[in-house]
Amino acid sequence: MMPSQPGGSGSEKQSWTERRRQKIRAEIERNRRGEYTVPTWVLALALAAIVLAWVALLILA
């Protein structure tokens, strides 16, 4: 007879959610200290949009 474990998969899920909460808290703390950085892909997308706007302006004007 196997003893039932009250927190079998539930405790595993709880540890996942707790790790997730820890990561979110750490990110918020970093952002409050001013360590926030914009992801590189966002900067590349913004640069591409600016270049395309200039090219469109030169061609269409």
Classify residue 25: in a domain, yes or no: yes
Classify residue 12: in a domain, yes or no: yes
* Phi-psi region at 34: left, alpha or beta (left = phi > 0; alpha = psi -120 to 50): left
Q: How many distinct structural domains can be found in the chain? A: 1
The reported pLDDT for the residue numbered 30 is: 87
The reported pLDDT for the residue numbered 54 is: 97
pLDDT, tens digit only, all 61 positions of the chain: 445 555 555 566 779 899 999 999 998 998 889 887 888 999 999 999 999 999 999 999 8
Classify residue 19: in a domain, yes or no: yes
Classify residue 13: in a domain, yes or no: yes
32, two tokens:
């409050």
The reported pLDDT for the residue numbered 37 is: 83
Share of the chain residues as helix, strand and coil, in percent rounded to the nearest 5: 75, 0, 25
Classify residue 3: in a domain, yes or no: no
Rounded to an integer, what distance in angstroms lies between the CA atom of residue 49 and that of residue 44? Answer: 9
